[in-house]
Structure 1
C-alpha cells in the first residue's frame, strides 16, 4: 500500500484524483493539502472539503499557499469556472480544516513516517512543495517519490510551450525538479491521451449513486469547456494519472530525462525543457 499526500487545487481533474486515491485499496491517503491554482485558495480549499463530503472521505485537509513564490497569480476560470469546480453540486464540509499550514502538514507527515514511505502527489502548482523542502530540507531524502502532474515535452496549454501548473509558479517547479529526490513528470503528453471517453462515463453511470452522479457532472462541465477552449471531444483526467501510476506502475511507460524549468525566456517562461539523452 502506497502512503500519499495529495497537494492539489480542485479543479475537476483534482476531484477525480482524490476520489480515486480514497477509494483504491492500494492507496493510503494520509491527507490533502491545497494550493491556489485553478482558482483562489479559499475556493479550491472549499472544493476539496466538498469532494470529501460527497464521498465520505475523512482525512486531514490543510490549507496552503495563496500566491505563487514570485509572479502574479493566474487562475483557470475559463476551464474550471468561477468556483473552480463548477457543474456538480458541492455539499457543505463535514469537518474542519487541519489547523496547520499545508507546508507544515507536509513536513510533519513526512518526518513522522519511516523514511522512503511517503509519496508526494502534487497535482497543482508546486508552491507548497517548494516551500516545504526549503523549510525542512530533510524531507528531500525521506520522501519515497514525487509524482507531479505538470509540464510537457512537446507543447503547452497556457502558452505554446508551458503547461498551467508549471507556468503559474515556475520558480517553485524549478526548485522541485532540481532537488535530489525521485520526480516523475506526468505531463500533457501523457494526460492528453487519458480521456474520460463515453465508454468510461457509461461504466461510471452504471454504478449509480451520489458519487457516480458527482463524477458525471464533473465530466459534463469540464468536457464542455475543453470542447470550447481546446476542441477536445472528451476531457482529460490529468491528475488521476498520478494516482494511477502509484496504484499500478505499469499503467504508462516512463523514460529517464533531465528536466529544467525555463524562468527567463520572454516567450518560453514555464517551459519544461526535457533532455532524454542525459541522466538527471
Structure 2
C-alpha cells in the first residue's frame, strides 16, 4: 500500500503517523504538511521530528500556509505551542524537501500506476483542493482518499455542527467533496468512540517500543485537557487504522455538502462514504500492536 500522508501535527496526527510509518504493509512515500492545528513552519518541523523518532527517513514537503479563503485559526489550547503537547521528539533527520506539497503529490502520482496511491488526510483539505485546481488529472489517479473530518449526526467541536478540519478550510472541503474522488470520511460520529484510559497508556509503555512510548506520552498530554477517566478522542489514528482494518468500522454512504459560512457538513448532492461507528476495543488492540513494531 503506497501512501501520502497530508497532515498538520498535532498530537493525534503524531500517533497516526507513527503507526503508519512503522506498519510493514503501509509504504509512506511522503509527508505533506498544511497549516491547521498550528502554523505551517511548526507542522512541517513536527512532521520531520515524528519521522525521525520512527526511524523512517520519509521526505517532508511543506504545503499550504493558510486556508483558501479565510483566516487561519490554530488550536493551541489542545495541542500546545509546539503542536505536540510538549512531548520530546528528536530533531528531523533532514530539512524539508524543496519541492512543495502539491508538486510532490503530482510527481508521486505520475510515478505510480493509476489508482495505486492512497492519500491519508489528517488535517484541513487545503493541499488536496490545490491539487484539484492545479492538476485535476493527477488527483484522479488517487486510489482513495481517507480523511478525518466533519460531524454528521454528532454535534461539532468548533461550533454546533462544525468540526475543526472541515471548518478550518470549508472551501477546500467543499471542492474535495464535489470532485468525484473516492473519499472515505471519518467524522466525529466515529472518532469520539475511540479513546484511551490510563491502563492503555501503561500497556503502551510496557511494550518498550519507542513509538509506543512516545504515543503514551502524547495521550498523556491529551489527558491534561480533560477532567475524565479517558483521553480526548483519538481522531487521526482512525485514518491509517481504517486502511488496514475496515472491518472495525461501520461505513455508510451519505449525501453531503459543506456550508461555507459555518464549515458544517450539510445534506447535499455528493455521495460520500462515511464511517459512523467503530469497534473501539478492536481499534485499541490494533493500534497497540502497530505501535509496538
TM-based fold match above 0.5: yes
Residue 273 of structure 1 is matched in structure 2 by 266
SS in 2 for 1:59: coil
Aligned partner of 1:204 in structure 2 is 204
Asked if the contact 1:87–1:220 (Cα under 8 Å) also holds between the matched residues in 2, the reply is no
Distance 1:240 1:125 in 2: 15
Q: After TM superposition, give the deviation of residue 140 of structure 1 in Å.
A: 3.1
Query: Separation in 2 of the partners of 1:233 and 1:27?
Result: 29
Q: SS of the counterpart of 1:253?
A: strand
Is contact 1:140–1:179 with CA below 8 Å preserved after alignment?
Answer: no
Structure 2 counterpart of 1:140 = 139
Structure 1: distance between partners of 2:217 and 2:271: 43
Which residue of 240, 243, 248 maps to 1:246? 243
Cα contact 1:152–1:188 (8 A) shared by 2: yes
User: Can you give the 5+ residue segments of structure 2 that lack an aligned partner in the other structure?
Assistant: 273-293
Q: Which residue does 1:192 correspond to in 2?
A: 192
Q: Give the Å deviation of 1:141.
A: 2.2
Deviation at 1:214, TM superposition (A): 1.5
Tell me the equivalent position of 2:259.
Answer: 262
SS in 1 for 2:260: coil
Distance 1:176 1:146 in 2: 10
* Deviates most, 205-214 or 48-57: 205-214
For residue 254 of structure 1, give the secondary structure of its aligned residue in structure 2: strand
Alignment correspondent of 2:56: 57
Query: Are residues 91 and 203 of structure 1, via their aligned partners in 2, closer, same or farther at CA, if it must alter by over 3 Å?
Result: same
- Partner residue in 1 for 2:282: none
SS across alignment from 1:256: strand
TM-score w.r.t. length of structure 1: 0.92
Tell me what 2:275 maps to: none
Distance 1:200 1:248, change over 3 A: same
Q: State the 1:75 CA deviation.
A: 0.2
Any conservation in 1 of the 2:33–2:62 contact (CA below 8 Å)? yes
Please tell me the root mean square deviation across aligned C-alpha atoms, in Å: 1.7
What is the SS of the residue equivalent to 1:245? helix
Q: Which residue pairs with 2:222 in the alignment? A: 222
Q: 1:88 to 1:30 in 2, by over 3 A?
A: same
How far residue 89 of structure 1 moved from its aligned partner, in angstroms, is 0.6
**Residue matched to 1:36:** 35
CA contact (8 A) 1:145 1:182 kept: yes
Q: TM-score, normalised by structure 2?
A: 0.88
Q: Describe the superposition over 1:220-239 as per-residue Cα deviations: whole angstroms up to 9, x where unpaired.
A: 112212x16xx673222111
Aligned pair count reads: 271
After superposition, the C-alpha distances for 1:61-116 in whole angstroms (9 at most, x for unaligned) are 10111111000010000110111112311221111211111111111111211001
Is contact 1:4-1:30 (8 Å) kept? yes
